[in-house]
Amino acid sequence: GTGADNDLYINQAVVFIEDAIQYRSINHRVDSKSLWLYRWYYSRTWQWILSLTITIILALAFVEEPSSLTVTSDVRYRLPAWNPPCGLTEGIELLCFLVFLLDVSVKSYLIGWKEFWKNKWLMAYIMTLIVSLTDWIVSLSFFCRESVRIRRILRPFFLLQNSSMMKKTLKSINSTLPEMASVVLLLAVHLSLFTMFAMLLFARTKDNQQDKEWVVYFRNLPDSLTSLLVLLTTANNPDVMIPAYSKNRAYSIFFILFTVLGNLFLMNLLTAIIYNQFRGYLLKSVQSSLFRRRLGIRAAFEVLSSLRETPPNAQQFYVSAGAIEQVLQKVEMDSRCKQAIMRSLKICSCDQLSAAQFQKLFEELDKDAIMHHPPSPEYQSHFMQKMQFAFGHPYFGYLGNVVALANIVSICVVLVLDADKQPSERDDFFLGAINCFFILYYLLEMLLKILAMGLRRYLSYPSNRFDGLLTVILLILEIATFAEYGFPHPGWRPEFMGLLSLWDMVRLVNMLIVFRFLRIIPNMKFMALVVTTLLDLVKNLRAFAGILVVVFYAFAITGIMLFKGAVVPLGNTSAANTTHNNATLQCGTYEQLEYWPNNFDDFAGENVISWCSAHFQAEFTTYLFSVNLICRWAKIYFVAWWLISSVIWVNLFVALLLENFIHKWDRRCQRESLSDIEYQGTVELMFRDVLEEPTEEELMEKLHQHPHLQLCR
Amino acid sequence: GTGADNDLYINQAVVFIEDAIQYRSINHRVDSKSLWLYRWYYSRTWQWILSLTITIILALAFVEEPSSLTVTSDVRYRLPAWNPPCGLTEGIELLCFLVFLLDVSVKSYLIGWKEFWKNKWLMAYIMTLIVSLTDWIVSLSFFCRESVRIRRILRPFFLLQNSSMMKKTLKSINSTLPEMASVVLLLAVHLSLFTMFAMLLFARTKDNQQDKEWVVYFRNLPDSLTSLLVLLTTANNPDVMIPAYSKNRAYSIFFILFTVLGNLFLMNLLTAIIYNQFRGYLLKSVQSSLFRRRLGIRAAFEVLSSLRETPPNAQQFYVSAGAIEQVLQKVEMDSRCKQAIMRSLKICSCDQLSAAQFQKLFEELDKDAIMHHPPSPEYQSHFMQKMQFAFGHPYFGYLGNVVALANIVSICVVLVLDADKQPSERDDFFLGAINCFFILYYLLEMLLKILAMGLRRYLSYPSNRFDGLLTVILLILEIATFAEYGFPHPGWRPEFMGLLSLWDMVRLVNMLIVFRFLRIIPNMKFMALVVTTLLDLVKNLRAFAGILVVVFYAFAITGIMLFKGAVVPLGNTSAANTTHNNATLQCGTYEQLEYWPNNFDDFAGENVISWCSAHFQAEFTTYLFSVNLICRWAKIYFVAWWLISSVIWVNLFVALLLENFIHKWDRRCQRESLSDIEYQGTVELMFRDVLEEPTEEELMEKLHQHPHLQLCR
């Protein structure tokens, strides 16, 4: 019937506009039931459940055997960790898999059968689920005693497939790979030629005292390659050349030449290539988001224009204002935006809207929300007005900064004075008394500001919220301290014990005071710029960070599987034997360096290792390669990790930072005059001036390609 | 008289055109004698003398007391170096100063008295000379026994003032300083806040076994600052957190947070800022060069147009072709260019040239020289033609590459097999025989190529020149080897001694073969691009490199002055005592690490230290700060050096590399089709499409501002 049809059209329009708001693709089923399912699928609840499930399944690695639930990861001191009984984590895992199964079937249904076969991500999703479930069954049938669990490595895939940004980023990283491979090849050629040179230069000689270089670094091909690879990261920079340099100054030329060519030129060339590839990346992605938004709105217009109530007009299509209002009521969107659109619909006061008018109506979505701070209270009393003027003035804020600085300096002075004192010699009276006064000042400052600005205006500034929260916490801590230990007096010994020792309380207060000092940031122009750039960057980096997490996770799990138990404490448990003599150990080995906590026995520890090895460092390299003695594959594993994390990912990060910063900087210069308006800066806004609006033809062509929507024209 | 006037005008035009060719400023005196002096000053001879003088005065540091003329710089083995007698280096220095005096007086005279007072560089030049000469006199009057020689630190100034590129670069570095300072300030805030946090977190506790972190890294404020500063460079990355991490996993969060914020965000922000500042740098400098060229040519036109022979024309000025020809005869320039200009002058066949025509005539200067390789010889014989086809074909070159690769692989195999052999067990027969065959093949390849291409065409390719030269050297070495030790036979022992041992000869041959393998570069497209980018970069980097040399030199000299003799060998001379036990030394000290050759006792050694410390590394940092025990200032000295060299200079380098590479890359994509023409790529050409031609008005305005030239209109 017509009514049902109209309802369907309205619902379609609602969903299309929601798609536009969220920059989603509109290529999904559009019948009534599917629309209901679609809205449910993209409802906050389901998306939240999905995110929670992904978080849980990823976090399982910390709890699963080998669990990370020990205070230390040092093999010498570590107590046996609590391991969950067989079936507990597996049960949780099964629940997660069920959620994913539901997710994948709804998703597949919604995009339709035809599209499904074209969508490699969905296929991979299903494959991953099948493999994981099989592995899970194998695991249970062995009563969790099987050694290899493939499904643990596959887990990050669930994170990857859930984010369209990450998939897009992965695609563009993929397109950079050929060029990166060229530079890596160049690096390999550089490395191998220099290795041959080195082996010829530092060959074994008759004189045993002369060939230290050979013994330590260039004994054979793998050793030489390793030495120079590590030199490429400048990790063993002076060490590797010391024996040769000690023999003859001229040998230093070889090493300097190698480092200049490899580290300075080729490594930075990699940065240049990656930056060059990613230069347009942000712009392109914002452009395609814009296209999706325009397309969604246009689709909504098209379905609304086929509503029966519209008078059939062969030339131009129109949409009635009533239908729009009906749709807007149903759309879930930011209430501020919705009101603005309603208002402009009323102002327009036309009964029929053309496609262009309809698009214009929704331009409100692209506009930056200008923050309006609530007004200050208006006091009648003359005295109160003066107070308000005094304490609402920026100078009062500056005074607060100066006082915070004074507090920091006083803490610093006490720290320097107390640095070498035995804990028993310490007296917290001075610091306690001073901090008490400062915290009272902070409280006073907060209250006066609230008085001057009114509570709502005070809270509308993020810096005030930060400030106020810390002040309240400090006050609570201080009151707790006084309640427990009385007021500061000479001989207020830090070893008084309560819930926490007085010493810990004072330290905590001091740390919070140091942290509170960050409130100066918005007052310094350049710092504010840098910090907002960094915050923006963090938003744009989510996709990259996600991919890093995926790689990190896979590497960490592989590391545990390969090298679990590779680091074994020396001889009989030397945990108690803390006085053991360092001199009996050879320098540079991990025993001497006490790298005991760095082992491959649990997930958290493995993560820290990966973090450390991303910054290839001299001693740590030695450590990594002494693991090599235990397992030959460790070397390849770590070189691969270094290439991916340090070389490629760090360069990607630099490229993105450059891109972001340069745009931001240019924009700042343009908007210097408008600086007192706070923008809720989004990437879209950053590129406002350079974005191209999609043309009518492009939109209509795309609409006609829609797999489920039949347009009447 | 008119004739003399005409001669003057011609000479002026000649000098202006030479200025245009060399992109020099035209603001100099233009009377007859000054012009002669000017041409003499910019003649190759005088410029060569000047460069030589600068090289000599800079190189003196290697020879002067403390001289670097020892084979090793290891304090344990070093023999007392030969020090030049008092007066020798001082005499050479005086000669250099005299040359500089002449230089500065000619320069000052040529730009004229008025301009001289505005030129700060010239004033500084004179001041430097005065201080240096005073210091020199003091030095001689103490019979070279004075301890402080200021003039040594001032020397790099002579390098600086002689290059206009370096002065320009310095200016633009200078304009970046405020923003760099902001980031450095941010880094300082970051560092100091985290230091306070660390001191509060890792405070001394009662339990002595628990506070290893405190003992080693955070004992007091300077120690804590140092630990975290070094962590900022990730040099002590895992070490610094090991004791705390061993106590509790959670402490790793502190260190990871610090590194992410400091090293990943803030340090890369510095790169972004510097890149942002230098983005337009190359373009701007090329644009100003273009302006100078156009201005020089315009000035030449103006003076020529006031020649008496020209018929006075109120509206437009003309220059006669005869006068141009006269000028061209006298101008010193590339003969190819000169011929091209002459030719187009004849083709034009107009008697009078307007300003535009005149400019157009000299556009030949901007054109890229397309390399024309001489033609191959044409053989009559059918057999020879076939030979020519076969050996002139690229596949023959590829075959050569494959053979070179095979040679490399064979050397590699022998190296791997021989790696662990005692020198007395080695037998060079196999490698000798193989190399002999390969070198014969190389000779054959060279001869066949010469046959196919003709000697001139063969030599016109740089890759062939490289190849041929190495082949000839290899041949000579091989013949010398055979003459000395006979043909390879089993038991061809490497220890046979001649001028060089057979072992050394074979190693040398192998190294050259490895080096010769670089001929594959032009055959690999991406590699060729990278290498040409790097070569271009080296050209553009000269100014930066010069500034680095200046800073390096000043730091090295300061280092010698401050820390000479700071590194003293352990106890009684342990030079002979090579069996001394490592175990008795504490790990991580420079005694254990055997950093003896790294000392501050001479210039060459100091240079190597500076190089190493530019890449702050873990052990090396320990070393640098153990020097601190001897002298407190060393720490500040090294931190300053690290900031300048590693942070600022490396970032400048990256910025320039990005700029260069991205332009080159864009250009490559445009010119894909023209790729078979070899361009002699210059920076000017890279920017051809984006450069703006200066307008007539700009040129004339600048000309009217000329301090010495009176134009008739």
Under DSSP, is residue A352 helix (H, G, I), strand (E, B) or coil?
strand
Q: Does A260 touch chain B (CB under 8 A)?
A: no
Token pair of B502 as six digits: 């057979």
Among candidate residues A94, A172, A175, A168, the one with its CA nearest the CA of residue A136? A94
Average pLDDT (A189-218) is 77
Under DSSP, is residue B353 helix (H, G, I), strand (E, B) or coil?
strand
Distance from CA of B202 to the nearest CA of A (A): 10
What's the confidence (pLDDT) of residue A574? Answer: 42
Please give the backbone phi and psi of residue A662, each rounded to the nearest 5 degrees, phi first: -65, -40
In three state form, how does the secondary structure of B616-638 look? CCHHHHHHHHHHHHHCCHHHHHH
Whole-angstrom distance between the N-terminal and C-terminal Cα of chain B?
21
Helix axes A281-305, A2-21, angle to 10 degrees: 170
Q: Are A372 and A366 in contact (CB under 8 A)?
A: no
Distance in angstroms (rounded) separating the CA atoms of residues B58 and B52? 10
Please tell me which of the candidates A511, A608, A615 has its beta carbon nearest to residue B197: A511
Token pair of B288 as six digits: 């100003």
What's the confidence (pLDDT) of residue A602? Answer: 65
Please give the backbone phi and psi of residue B319, each rounded to the nearest 5 degrees, phi first: -125, 140
Among candidate residues A357, A363, A365, A362, the one with its CA nearest the CA of residue A318? A357
Residues in chain B: 713
Q: Does A210 touch chain B (CB under 8 A)?
A: no
Q: Are B285 and B168 in contact (CB under 8 A)?
A: yes
pLDDT tens track for A528-543: 777 777 777 777 777 7
- Model confidence at A60: pLDDT above 70: yes
Distance from CA of B668 to the nearest CA of A (A): 13
Distance in angstroms (rounded) separating the CA atoms of residues A622 and A226? 10
Token pair of A61 as six digits: 């690695």
CA dihedral A399, A400, A405, A408 (to 10 degrees): 150
Which of A617, A649, A650, A668 would you mutate first to test chain B, the one with the most B CBs within 10 A? A617
Please tell me which of the candidates B201, B265, B608 has its beta carbon nearest to residue A534: B265
| pLDDT over 70 percentage in chain A | 79
Q: Does B207 touch chain A (CB under 8 A)?
A: no
Q: Does A526 touch chain B (CB under 8 A)?
A: yes
Token pair of B616 as six digits: 């702050």
Residue B587 to residue A584, Cβ atoms within 8 A: no
What's the confidence (pLDDT) of residue A469? Answer: 92
Token pair of A278 as six digits: 């990613």
Please give the backbone phi and psi of residue B352, each rounded to the nearest 5 degrees, phi first: -120, 135
- Model confidence at A606: pLDDT above 70: no
Number of H helices, E strands in chain A: 32, 2
Of residues A85 and B448, the one with the higher pLDDT is: B448
Q: Which of A606-610, A644-648, B484-488 has the lowest mean pLDDT?
A: A606-610
Q: Does B619 touch chain A (CB under 8 A)?
A: yes
Q: Which of A548-552, A573-577, B348-352 has the lowest mean pLDDT?
A: A573-577
Which of B68, B72, B215, B245 would you mutate first to test chain A, the one with the most A CBs within 10 A? B245
**Residue A261 — very low, low, confident or very high, per pLDDT cuts 50/70/90?**
confident
Residues of B in contact with A595 (CB under 8 A): 238, 242
Residues of chain B with pLDDT under 70: 1-2, 69, 71-78, 206-210, 234-238, 308-316, 367-372, 423, 491-500, 563-634, 666-689, 712-713
Under 8 Å CB pairs connecting chains A and B tally to 289
Q: Are B191 and B229 in contact (CB under 8 A)?
A: yes
Token pair of B167 as six digits: 């002065």
Which of B62, B72, B236, B239 would you mutate first to test chain A, the one with the most A CBs within 10 A? B239
Which amino acid, B191?
L
What's the confidence (pLDDT) of residue B132? Answer: 92
Alpha-carbon dihedral sign for residues A225, A646, B643, B653: positive
Q: Are B405 and B411 in contact (CB under 8 A)?
A: no
CA dist list (Å): A207 to A123, A204, B184, B706: 65, 8, 50, 71
Distance in angstroms (rounded) separating the CA atoms of residues A183 and A206? 39
Please give the backbone phi and psi of residue B277, each rounded to the nearest 5 degrees, phi first: -70, -35
Q: What global pTM score does this model have?
A: 0.77
Strands B352-353 and A352-353: unpaired
Q: Does B545 touch chain A (CB under 8 A)?
A: no
CA dihedral B518, B523, B527, B531 (to 10 degrees): 60
Q: Does B69 touch chain A (CB under 8 A)?
A: no
CA dist list (Å): B281 to A53, B176, B303: 51, 11, 33
User: Which residues lie below 8 Å from residue A659, measured CB to CB, with a gap of 6+?
Assistant: A275, A278, A279, A281, A282
Instruction: Give the chain A residue whose CA is nearest to the CA of B218.
Output: A419
What's the confidence (pLDDT) of residue B127? Answer: 93
- Model confidence at A80: pLDDT above 50: yes
* A564 φψ region: left (φ > 0), alpha (ψ -120 to 50), beta (else): beta
- Any alpha helices (H) in A494-524, and if so which ranges? 502-516
pLDDT tens track for A475-530: 998 888 888 777 777 766 666 665 667 777 788 888 888 888 888 877 777 777 77
Domains delineated in chain B: 1-167 (no CATH), 172-285 (1.10.287.70), 297-370+690-705 (no CATH), 382-523 (1.20.120), 534-570+586-678 (1.10.287)
Of residues A79 and A64, the one with the higher pLDDT is: A64
Under DSSP, is residue A164 helix (H, G, I), strand (E, B) or coil?
helix
Distance in angstroms (rounded) separating the CA atoms of residues A112 and A102? 16
Place of tokens 């090599």: A628
What's the confidence (pLDDT) of residue B131? Answer: 93
Please give the backbone phi and psi of residue B292, each rounded to the nearest 5 degrees, phi first: -60, -40
Distance in angstroms (rounded) separating the CA atoms of residues B201 and B204? 9
Q: Does B47 touch chain A (CB under 8 A)?
A: no
Residues of B in contact with A530 (CB under 8 A): 182-183, 186, 269
Please give the backbone phi and psi of residue A647, each rounded to the nearest 5 degrees, phi first: -75, -55
Token pair of A643 as six digits: 């290439």
- Model confidence at A580: pLDDT above 50: no
Q: Does B98 touch chain A (CB under 8 A)?
A: no
Q: Which of A277-286, A437-446, B334-343, B507-516 has the lowest mean pLDDT?
A: A277-286
Token pair of A128 as six digits: 């991953």
pLDDT tens track for A312-331: 555 567 888 888 888 888 88
What's the confidence (pLDDT) of residue A133? Answer: 93
What's the confidence (pLDDT) of residue B429? Answer: 78
Q: Are B414 and B442 in contact (CB under 8 A)?
A: no
Provide the β-strand partners of residue A679.
A370
Token pair of B347 as six digits: 């083709």
pLDDT tens track for B190-234: 888 888 888 888 877 766 666 777 777 777 777 788 778 877 776
Distance in angstroms (rounded) separating the CA atoms of residues A267 and A231? 12
Any idea what DSSP says for residue B262?
I
CA dihedral A573, A577, A579, A581 (to 10 degrees): -30
What's the confidence (pLDDT) of residue B577? Answer: 40
Q: Are B266 and B187 in contact (CB under 8 A)?
A: yes
Please tell me which of the candidates B72, B238, B587 has its beta carbon nearest to residue A247: B72
Which of B435, B514, B518, B626 would you mutate first to test chain A, the one with the most A CBs within 10 A? B514
Q: Are A77 and B246 in contact (CB under 8 A)?
A: yes
Of residues B299 and A619, the one with the higher pLDDT is: B299
Q: Does A604 touch chain B (CB under 8 A)?
A: yes
Among candidate residues B331, B496, B522, B322, the one with its CA nearest the CA of residue B424? B496
Of residues B158 and A633, the one with the higher pLDDT is: B158
Q: Does B190 touch chain A (CB under 8 A)?
A: no
Q: Are A436 and A478 in contact (CB under 8 A)?
A: yes
Distance in angstroms (rounded) separating the CA atoms of residues B214 and B235? 19
